[in-house]
Amino acid sequence: MRMAEALELDWQDVDLVGARAILRADQTKGKKRRNVTLPPRLITTLANLQHREGAVIRRPDGIPYADRRREGGGQIKTAPKATLRRAGLDPSLTPHDLRHTWASWHYAVHRDLLALKVAGGWSSVELVERYAHPPPAGQEIEIQRFHGHLLGIESAPGLANC
């Protein structure tokens, strides 16, 4: 999911029980509707949010980020840095870096470029290959643990307040 897609996500398009979010065509870069699978750790984090109406992703004061229709791009400048800070992650990371990481982790676990193409909303496998950089062998278990697919993982540290 791209940053703008996440910031525009509305609770009416989130299914916590089904572990998915629906991205409407007007929200995606490719202008095609997409279903996004939500990992268990993210489900737990979302389930712990205090609100269940309107924008899913909000500022710390509970107000949705401005410019939800991508007219000025202001939310893209402030939301990631604040979220990284609250999560205790390296503030130099960019949404683009995180998309590369997600693509690489998805491929490491599933080993399916076509599934990754669909999940990431890319128009070709060639574009997927630019994003997916398989991590060293043997990290699949740790990736699954991070996402909460293995027992004993409840929520992402620092993300409950995002």
CA–CA dist 77, 66 (Å, integer): 11
Please check whether residue 155 is in contact with residue 45, taking contact to mean a CB–CB distance below 8 angstroms. yes
Domains of the chain, CATH where assigned: 3-147 (1.10.443)
Of 19, 78, 22, 14, nearest to 52 by C-alpha is 14
pTM exceeds 0.85, yes or no: no
Q: Where does the pLDDT of residue 32 fall: very low under 50, low under 70, confident under 90, or very high at 90 and above?
A: confident
The pLDDT tens digits of the residues spanning 119-153 come to 888 889 999 988 888 778 888 888 888 877 764 44
